Every structure is written in C-alpha cells, then in structure tokens.
C-alpha cells in the first residue's frame, strides 16, 4: 500500500536522511553557506554597522570616487558613499525573500498542474500540457523581462513574475511521474474500491512525489536567485534604493575598472548562494531518489 503523506514527510526529515546529508562534504558546505546567509538576513539590523540607505561624506574620496575596503567600511563604499557591507547584508533579505516566495509559488503551481494532467489524462492532460509546452517555448529570461516591463517593478511583483516563468520545469517533471504512478497497481486497486480522485491524488500519488518536489524546490531557489539578480541588474527588478545583490551590481557597474569590489563582492555572494542551493539539492536528489542510490 501507498504511504501516507505524514509517513513520507517523516521519512524525508528523519535523522538518517539528515545524517547522510551531513556526511557529504559539498552538501555540508552548501548548508553552511545557506545558514550563514539566512542568519545574516534575519539579524541584519543587529549585524550591520550602518544604515544601508545612509550616505556618508567620508565614504567618498576627494575626487568623489568610492572608498576601497577599510577598517571603517569593511567592503568599501558604493558610488554615493553608502556602506557596501550593510547593503549586501540587507540585499540577502531581498534575494532570499524572492527566492523562497517566487519558488514556492512556482512549485505549487507546477505541482498542481503536473499532478492534475498526469492523473486525469484526456482533454485535461492535453490542455494543461500544451499550455506548459507553450510556456516552455518562450525563453524564461525574455518572458520575465517582458512581464517585468509591463508591471511596475517591486519586490512582490518581481517574485510573481519569476514564479510565472519558473513553474513549467517542475510541472513537466511531476507530470511524467504522476502519469506513471496513475497506472500502478495500488492506484488501480483504489479506483476499483471506489476511492475518489481527491483521495487517490492526496493520499497515494502525492506522497510518492514529495521527494521529487522537495528536490526541485531546493534547486529552484538557486535559479530564482540568479533570475532575480539578472532582472535587477537589467534595471527591471527590485528598484533602488532597496538593496538587492543584482541592483548593487547594476548601480555600480560604471566603476567596474576603478572599483572592482563593487561588482565582484555582490557577484561572489550571488554565486556562492546559488551554488550552495545546487549542492544541497543535488545531495537531496541522490538521497531521496531510489534510482540514484548506490551511484555515488
């Protein structure tokens, strides 16, 4: 018989899974980076030495150029004399909020569409998956740019735009697995006993898909963080003065040659966080997916 949702959730979070995750050096390194970033974002008001919006006259040279990293401004200052370290820490809040919210919405939409199309088949399958294929035909970045240009950019609008272009991948993956599961004997037996579609979907098919959804949700955060940074860098994401790792690079790109730390430091933060989520997601896939076990 199929496991219940509670049983599957418990198995996904049991100590053996966590212990196996912690035994992987790359996954452990990714977890450390994620935890440090989350803690820095949560406790930003108590960690940063300055207000991220405050402009300092002493934060610029006599010629008006940004200051390099020093004892007062640990990561230097930006082109208007604001402390880069403070803006970077507050920017982590923006990236994480958008990453979690946008990816969460995308996972919910993609999972519902994939499960529904995979189970009901017929015209439902045709309509939903052809719409998914249509969305996949558009380059995600180009579609996000168009949507961001239509709506007034803000934190939540950017999150919604990213969610609207990122659900298609998980929908396709969930659809394939749901379609396979719907033909399994235990599902056929439930149908024969008169079980309704809701019971079969949520008590028998969804529990088998939780590991896949968890893995894709983790990997999707990395994609979302990178997409948010790209939109902000292009000037159609989170708008200044709200700090975002992408718009920090966008604002300071003109000083790339004379003040490279203004681009390299936030760029390194984006790279580190995206890589961390990818490492954890890959490890979870190997641990939770039975077909991957024994290959590493």
State pLDDT tens for residues 68-95: 888 888 898 888 889 999 999 999 988 8
Q: ω before 228 within 30° of 0 (cis)? A: no
Residue whose tokens read 């490279």:
260
Q: Which residue has the higher pLDDT, 292 or 271?
A: 271
Sign, Cα dihedral of 136, 137, 142, 147: negative
Task: In whole angstroms, give the CA distance from residue 123 to residue 137.
Answer: 21
Contacts of 105 (CB under 8 A, 6+ apart): 159, 160, 163, 167
| Residue 290: pLDDT band with limits 50, 70, 90 | low
Please choose, from the candidates 94, 93, 226, 201, the residue with its C-alpha nearest in 3D space to the C-alpha of residue 155: 94
Residue 141 structure tokens: 């970045």
Task: In whole angstroms, give the CA distance from residue 245 to residue 268.
Answer: 10
Task: In whole angstroms, give the CA distance from residue 66 to residue 87.
Answer: 14
| Residue 268: pLDDT band with limits 50, 70, 90 | very high
Q: In degrees, to the nearest 5, what angle opens at C-alpha 88 toward C-alphas 82 and 94?
A: 115
- pLDDT at position 240: 79
Q: In degrees, to the nearest 5, what angle opens at C-alpha 178 toward C-alphas 213 and 291?
A: 65
| Residue 186 pLDDT greater than 70, yes or no | yes
- pLDDT at position 294: 45
Please choose, from the candidates 98, 109, 131, 114, the residue with its C-alpha nearest in 3D space to the C-alpha of residue 221: 98
| Residue 143 pLDDT greater than 70, yes or no | yes
Region of residue 76 (left: phi > 0; alpha: psi -120 to 50; beta: else): left
| CATH code of the domain made up of 5-56+66-292 | 1.10.3720.10
- pLDDT at position 119: 84
| Residue 38 pLDDT greater than 50, yes or no | yes
| Residue 149 pLDDT greater than 90, yes or no | no
């Amino acid at each position: 018989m199929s496991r219940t949702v509670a049983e599957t959730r418990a198995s996904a979070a049991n100590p053996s899974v966590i212990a196996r995750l912690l035994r992987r050096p790359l996954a452990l390194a990714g977890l450390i980076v994620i935890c440090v970033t989350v803690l820095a974002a949560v406790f930003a008001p108590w960690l940063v030495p300055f207000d991220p919006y405050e402009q300092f006259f002493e934060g610029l040279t006599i010629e008006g150029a940004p200051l390099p990293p020093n004892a007062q401004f640990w990561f230097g200052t930006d082109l208007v004399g604001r402390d880069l370290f403070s803006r970077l820490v507050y920017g982590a809040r923006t990236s994480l909020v958008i990453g979690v919210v946008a990816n969460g919405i995308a996972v919910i939409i993609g999972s519902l569409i994939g499960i529904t199309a995979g189970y009901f088949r017929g015209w439902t399958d045709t309509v939903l998956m052809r719409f998914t294929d249509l969305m996949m035909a558009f380059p995600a970045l180009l579609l996000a740019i168009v949507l961001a240009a239509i709506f007034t950019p803000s934190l939540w609008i950017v999150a919604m735009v990213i969610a609207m272009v990122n659900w298609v991948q998980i929908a396709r993956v969930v659809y394939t697995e749901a379609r396979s599961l719907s033909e399994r004997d235990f599902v056929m037996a439930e149908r024969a006993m008169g079980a309704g579609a809701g019971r079969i979907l949520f008590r028998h098919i969804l529990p088998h898909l939780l590991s896949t959804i968890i893995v894709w949700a983790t990997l999707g955060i990395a994609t979302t963080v990178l997409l948010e940074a790209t939109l902000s860098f292009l000037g159609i994401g989170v708008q200044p003065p709200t700090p975002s790792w992408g718009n920090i690079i966008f604002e300071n790109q003109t000083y790339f040659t004379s003040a490279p730390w203004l681009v390299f430091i936030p760029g390194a933060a984006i790279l580190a966080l995206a890589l961390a989520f990818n490492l954890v997601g890959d490890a979870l896939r190997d641990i939770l997916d039975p077909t991957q076990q024994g290959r590493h």
